């Protein structure tokens, strides 16, 4: 059975500052790698799926019209 977040937090609370720093650094690295993966995927998609500037402008105008209509 997977421990709850509260259980994990209680365990973390019992760690020394140095142990907490190790966990922090590992989490930081994990997040950084996942973010890099996301950015790489977005970059690949933008290379293979070009979007026309006119299409972007049209979408922006639609959003603006919608926002102004709500106000």
Distance CA 51, CA 45 (A): 10
Position 1 scores a pLDDT of 86
Position 8 scores a pLDDT of 94
Distance CA 60, CA 34 (A): 29
Number of Cβ within 10 Å of residue 20's Cβ equals: 13
pLDDT, one tens digit per residue, over 6-35 is 999 999 999 999 999 999 999 999 999 999
pLDDT, one tens digit per residue, over 29-69 is 999 999 999 999 888 887 787 778 898 899 999 999 998 88
| pTM for this predicted structure | 0.54
Position 60 scores a pLDDT of 93
Chain length of the chain: 71
């Amino acid at each position: 059975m997977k421990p709850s977040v509260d259980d994990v937090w209680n365990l973390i609370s019992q760690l020394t500052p140095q142990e907490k720093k190790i966990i922090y650094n590992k989490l930081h690295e994990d997040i950084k790698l996942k973010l890099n993966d996301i950015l790489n995927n977005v970059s690949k998609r933008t290379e293979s799926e070009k979007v026309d500037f006119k299409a972007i402008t049209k979408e922006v105008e639609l959003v603006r019209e919608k926002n102004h209509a709500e106000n």
